[in-house]
Every structure is written in structure tokens, then in C-alpha cells.
Structure 1
Amino acid sequence: MTSAQTLPILYSFRRCPYAIRARLAIAYSGTQVELREVVLRDKPAAMLQASPKGTVPVLVLPDGRVIDESRNIMRWALQQNDPDGWLFADDDHWLWEAEGLIQENDFVFKQHLDRYKYADRHPQHTEQYYREQCEVTVAKLERQLQRNNGFLATGQMTLADTAIFPFIRQFAHVDRDWFFTSDYHHLQAWLTQQLESELFIAVMKKHKQWQEGEQGIPFLRPLVSA
């Protein structure tokens, strides 16, 4: 990073669910950043200097501050602009429920999902066993969607939907035939809506690997409802 930096720099990897949700929030907020697409087996020195833990996403602000947790990047973006009220900052009940869902996704569901995706690396149990562990959370999300008119935490799109969606996308893709013939009809509809949204399509555009010394890609999406 140089003193000439005028835009926040976002180090990202296209398929990473944590990076996806960060890009979704940034794009939704209409905040422009410089996108640097990285390859995880060839991490750039500039990213590692900013965040030695070496995971994406990493956001480097013009004043030198570094945000390297995806949930914090999402909140930073929404604090810049939140046109449809994803944060619901004045609703303590919603914040409590949304935070609980995100916590369960990140610290319980994600662990089971990794084993379900790569069951051959975890021969202690079968793929079906790992899927059933995932289904504890999946069934809960199905009930939330049924209760909240097709959304997870309240009757409209919020931070919870955006933060959890990339992980359900991965879950569904492990065995698409099973998922889309299962009884999780509300989750299927919700996932399809997210996948077909203008917002998701915009943030999944492919970019070449960023190299040291290059300019990143200007990353900006017009402000429209998601």
C-alpha cells in the first residue's frame, strides 16, 4: 500500500463464501473499492503484510486500517450506506436473532459443511452422516423462512440472509439432486432467489489474478435494491 491510495483495497477470492458475502455487502452499499483477486495457493505479499493470517477477504482502508473478518467488512460497508435497512440498527430483537443465526452458521454449520463437502477426507463417518449434521441448521433455516415470509430474520432481506446464503449455496451444490428434491421447499426458493439476483450475478464476475505492482479492478455497483 502506498500513500497515494485513495480507495479501500479488497483482497478477495471469487468462490470463497466469506469473500462472497463481503462483496455482496460492499456492492449493495454502492461503496467503491479496488478489487484484487487472489489465488489462495499463491497469496500476494501485500495481502500477507496487511493480514498475516492469510485468509480472504481482507479490506485495507486508505488510512491504513485493516479489516480481515468478513462479518466486520459487511458491517463496515453497511455503515457507509444501507439503502434497504439490512442492519436494522435500532431493532435490538432483530440484531439478537440475526447474530445468533450467523454465529450458528459460522461456528457450527460451517464445520459440518466442510466434512460433508469433503467426506472422503473424513472417513470416520459417511457423507450422509455429515449431511444429517448440517440438516440441524438447515431445518432451522427452513422454519425461519416459513415464519418470516421468505427471509431469515424478519420479513425482508437483511444482513443474516446475505451472510448465510453463500454457505447454503455450497451445501446445495454437494448433491444438487438431493437438495432440490428434499422437503426444504422454502430454502430452495430462497436460495434460487439469491442465485438469480442481480446483486449475486454482479459480484461473481470473473477477474484475472492480481499481481504485485498492478492496479486492481474498480469494484462498484449502482445503488439498486437487492
Structure 2
Amino acid sequence: MPATSALPVLYSFRRCPYAIRARMALAVSGQRCELREVVLRDKPAALLAVSPQATVPVLVLPGQVLEHSLDIMRWALAAHDPHGWLIPDRGELDAMLELIAQCDGPFKRALDRCKYPNRYPDASPADERAAAHAWLRVLEQRLALEPGGHLFGPRAALADMAIAPFVRQFAGIDDAQWQAAPWPHLRAWLVRWQQSPLFLGVMHKYEAWKPGAPPVVFPPPTA
């Protein structure tokens, strides 16, 4: 293992869906870094110095700073992609990126307005919920056609791992409504992902990072 001081630095927040998918890609690829858990209401000066927007995750590399989770995923997988996340059994990388863009754009917009209605007083909760449900039905239809139960074939690929954290966040808004909705394939897909050793392994709780704290190597040697 390289010396900790030589490792890239990952600023992360445990529950953030963007940070979750970045950590999963780093873990599966075995790209070790120094993890610094961030308290969003008290962002450290070291994070602000490398990324003024200070939205997690941020990966600090020698001579480069990656400020978008999908860029971090693709950087890690370009180095080592043991499960072929970038090469789905069905479809192409561009098709996965298009579906991820729909998640990160229109779906995330509706998700935020459903989860945090007080932040968006001008939004219609019913309209935003309908928009979110319409896109989730797209995922349900894709999964229903795939006997392996993944978005682009019988095994998980980049799209599954990049989208699942946001579906998880939506499911947590109203569990009763989620369980009653007409998307059994989507529910089963989410349960499998949430029960996977990879997801469970990246959800360990860490203390908030402070300057001078002992470094935390991620993923840990046993991951």
C-alpha cells in the first residue's frame, strides 16, 4: 500500500447519493484514497481551498481536482474495472450515460422537490411526484425486460450503480407509498443493491475530519 501522504484525498459525506456512488466505484476498483468525512454545515477550509463550490464528493489528485461524482467513478474504473461496469452486456456506455443524465437532471430535480418541499414553496408536490414516478416507471419497464434484473443486462453496470443511490433516496421519502407503487422489479433491484456487500461496505460511519486527525484509508484493507 502506498504511503498515506501519497494517496488522493476524497472529501465525502456518508449519506449523499453522489458521494455514495463515487465511493462504490473507488471501492470496487481498489483505488485507495484518504477519506475525509465532511459535515456539510461546517465545511473544512481545506475543502474550500481546493473546491470553492465545496459540494461533495471531491477527489484531489496530483495536479487535478475532480468535483463531480461521475468523473470520479469513470476515473476509478478507467484504472481498474474488474466487473466491467463500463462495458454492459446490453447497450453501450453512451446509452448508460444518457440514462444517468436523466437521473441527475429531471429526476433529481423532482426528487429534491418531493424530499424538501419547504425549500421549493413554488413547486407543486403533486406535479413533482408525478414527474418522479414517470421516470421510475421507465426504470421499471427496463428491469421488467431484463431477466437478470439490471438496467443493461444480467449484471450490474455503471448505470445501476450511479442511479441506485438516488432511487434509494426517493424510496426513503415515504416507505408506505414506495411499497404500494406498481414497480415490483424496481423494488427488488433496489433491495438487492442495498443488501450487496459493496454498498454495505461503503456506508461505514466515520468521524468528521479535522486537520491533524489520523488519516482514514478508503477502501479499508478488508473491503
Fold in common (TM above 0.5): yes
Instruction: Provide the residue aligned with 1:122 in structure 2.
Output: 120
State the AA in 2 paired with 1:177.
A
Task: State the Cα distance separating 1:195 from its structure 2 match.
Answer: 0.7
Structure 1: distance between partners of 2:116 and 2:127: 12
Tell me, yes or no, if the aligned pair for 1:94 and 1:154 is still in contact at 8 Å.
no
SS at match of 1:108: helix
Instruction: Provide the residue aligned with 1:145 in structure 2.
Output: 143
Provide, for residues 40-73 of structure 1, a one-character-per-residue CA deviation record: whole Å limited to 9, x for no partner.
1111111111111110000011x23111110000
Structure 1: distance between partners of 2:209 and 2:150: 36
Task: State the Cα distance separating 1:92 from its structure 2 match.
Answer: 9.9
Structure 2: distance between partners of 1:49 and 1:70: 19
Q: Which moved more, 1:98-107 or 1:144-153?
A: 144-153
Task: State the Cα distance separating 1:10 from its structure 2 match.
Answer: 0.4
Matched, 1:96 2:94: yes
Of 108, 126, 130, 1:132 maps to: 130
Q: State the TM-score, normalizing by the size of structure 1.
A: 0.91
Tell me, yes or no, if the aligned pair for 2:11 and 2:36 is still in contact at 8 Å.
yes
Give unpaired runs (5+ residues) of structure 2: none
Provide, for residues 16-44 of structure 1, a one-character-per-residue CA deviation record: whole Å limited to 9, x for no partner.
11000000111111221110001011111
Describe how 1:35-114 pairs up with structure 2 within 5 A. Answer: 35-61=35-61, 63-88=62-87, 93-114=91-112
State the AA in 2 paired with 1:128.
A
Instruction: Provide the residue aligned with 2:18 in structure 1.
Output: 18
State the AA in 2 paired with 1:121.
R
SS at match of 1:174: coil
Q: 1:80 to 1:222 in 2, by over 3 A?
A: farther
Tell me, yes or no, if the aligned pair for 2:117 and 2:125 is still in contact at 8 Å.
yes
SS at match of 2:43: coil
Instruction: Provide the residue aligned with 1:178 in structure 2.
Output: 177
Matched residue count: 219
Structure 2: distance between partners of 1:173 and 1:181: 13
Provide, for residues 88-116 of structure 1, a one-character-per-residue CA deviation record: whole Å limited to 9, x for no partner.
18x89421210111000001100000001
Give unpaired runs (5+ residues) of structure 1: none
The ranges of structure 1 where at least 4 consecutive aligned residues each deviate by more than 6 angstroms after the TM superposition are none
Structure 2: distance between partners of 1:93 and 1:125: 36
Q: 1:88 to 1:221 in 2, by over 3 A?
A: farther
SS at match of 1:5: helix
State the AA in 2 paired with 1:53.
Q
Instruction: Calculate the aligned-residue CA RMSD, in Å.
Output: 2.0
Structure 2: distance between partners of 1:112 and 1:35: 30
> Percent identity between the aligned chains?
47
SS at match of 1:66: strand
Q: 1:207 to 1:120 in 2, by over 3 A?
A: same
Task: State the Cα distance separating 1:117 from its structure 2 match.
Answer: 0.5
Structure 2: distance between partners of 1:64 and 1:45: 19
Q: State the TM-score, normalizing by the size of structure 2.
A: 0.92
Task: State the Cα distance separating 1:221 from its structure 2 match.
Answer: 5.2
Provide, for residues 64-86 of structure 1, a one-character-per-residue CA deviation record: whole Å limited to 9, x for no partner.
31111100000011112111100
Task: State the Cα distance separating 1:215 from its structure 2 match.
Answer: 3.2
Tell me, yes or no, if the aligned pair for 1:30 and 1:223 is still in contact at 8 Å.
no
State the AA in 1 paired with 2:70.
R
